[in-house]
Amino acid sequence: MPLDKKQSLLWALRTHFNLTGTKYGCGLGYCGACTVLMDDEPVRSCSIYMEDVAGKKITTIEGLANGDKLHPVQQAFVDHDALQCGFCTPGMIMNAVGLLKKNPHPSREQIINGMEDNFCRCGAHTRIVDAIAEAAGKM
């Protein structure tokens, strides 16, 4: 699939690069399933166009682990069973990583505020907060 500057980052990732860990959930930036890091800042890839991505560093869920070694946030999600269907999980993890990059030692309230606009329908919220709090301590 050729790249197109009017294409969304989400669909460029999912079709051109075949990086399908980044999910479509709503297409309007409400749900956060498509969250990736752009220069270490969490962004909604469904609402960013390729022309705005030039020269930026994009990190997706696929680029988080170091070989077989999971990123501390990924490991904490596993350890806390902080997922059910797993569809929102990549977006949750990317948003959490961005949050911790900016604030390595967030309070519980800061974690909740930072994750507020990422939606999980299965109701894994409390475990997600616990996982992020634990990962923060380990990073």
Partner 1 sequence: MESRDIEKPFTLWRRDFFKVLGGGIYFLFNLGNVDEAQAAETEQRRTLPKDYNAFLRIAEDGTVTCYTGKIEMGQGVFTSLPQMMADELDVELEKVKIVMGDTTLCPYDAGTWGSLTTRQFGPAMLAATAEARAVLLSMGAEYLKTTPDQVAVSNGVISIKNNKKKKVTYGQLAKGQKIEKFLDVKPKPKDYSEYKIMGKSFLHADALEKVTGRALYTGDFRMPGMVWAKILRPPSHFAKLATVDTSGAEQFPGAQVIRDKDFIAVLHADPEKAEQALAKIRADYTFNEMEVDDKNVFDRMLKIPSNARVTASKGNLDSGRKNSGFLFESQFNNHYVAHAPIEPHTALAWMEGDIMMVRASTQSPFGTQEGVARELGVTLEKVRVIPPFLGGGFGGKAVSLQANEAAKLAKLSGKPVMVAWTREEEFFYDSFRPAAVVTIKSGITPSGEITLWDYHEYFAGSRGSETIYECPDQSTISHSSNQVHPFATGAWRAPANNTNTYARESQIDMMAAKAGMDPIEFRLKNLKDQRMIDVLKGLKEFVNWKPAVSPGKRGFGIACGFDAGGYVATMAEVKVNQATGEITVVRVACVQEIGFCVNPQGATIQMEGCITMGMGYALTEEVEFTGGAVKTSNFGTYKLPKFSWLPKIETKILDRLTPPQGGGEPAIITMGGALANAVYDACGARLYTLPMTRERVLEALARK
Q: Is 17 in the site for partner 1 (CB under 8 A)?
A: no
Give min distance, CB of 57 to partner 1, in A. Answer: 18
- Of 41, 85, 104, 137, the residue at the interface with partner 1 (CB under 8 A) is 85
Q: How far apart are CA 66 and CA 78, in angstroms?
A: 16
Task: Find all residues with CB under 8 Å of 46, minimum gap 6, and list them.
Answer: 8, 9, 10, 24, 26, 27, 28, 29, 34
Task: Find all residues with CB under 8 Å of 60, minimum gap 6, and list them.
Answer: 13, 19, 21, 22, 36, 37, 90, 94
Strands 58-59 vs 41-44: parallel, antiparallel or unpaired: unpaired
Q: Is 8 helix (H, G, I), strand (E, B) or coil?
A: strand
Q: CB-wise, 58 or 61, nearer to partner 1?
A: 61
Q: Which stretch binds partner 1 (CB under 8 A): 37-45, 51-59, 98-106, 118-126?
A: 118-126
Give min distance, CB of 6 to partner 1, in A. Answer: 8
Residue window 39-78: x/- pattern of binding to partner 1, with contact defined by CB under 8 A: ---------------------xxx-xx----x---xx-xx
Q: Is 26 in the site for partner 1 (CB under 8 A)?
A: yes
Tokens encoding 101: 């990059």
Q: CB-wise, 105 or 121, nearer to partner 1?
A: 121
